[in-house]
Amino acid sequence: MLAFRALLGLFIICVSVYTSVVISKHGWNLFTVFFGDMFAMNWAGQFNTDFTCFLTLSGLWLAWRHKFTPMGILFGVLGFFGGIMVLAPFLLYISIKDKGNISKMLLGNRQIQD
């Protein structure tokens, strides 16, 4: 679990620094570039499409884990748009809160059924 937590911390640091550099060089014009690559049908667009699918699963899992409550849906939307900058701190927090219990981390307060 320590290695997993260290990896999450590394993700947070790396993506924060990388994002800061990109914003300083190119501004906040993410969506035009992101969707432009998708419409161009190139490899960058293929990656963006694949990444969007991962973001969708991440957001759905966050909302599901919180039982699709209004806060859960909000959290899912934040996870979709925030990516690893939302998911990694959340996973880090619940890994500590749930004392590394993977089942509890994945399922939240849902009961494990055999």
Strands, DSSP E only, in the chain? none
Is 32:48 a contact under the CB 8 Å cutoff? no
Q: What pLDDT is attached to residue 41? A: 95
Q: What pLDDT is attached to residue 109? A: 80
Instruction: Judge whether residue 20 has pLDDT over 70.
Output: yes
- Average pLDDT of the residues in 19-29: 93
Mean pLDDT of the chain: 93
Confidence of residue 7 (pLDDT cuts 50, 70, 90): very high
Confidence of residue 110 (pLDDT cuts 50, 70, 90): confident
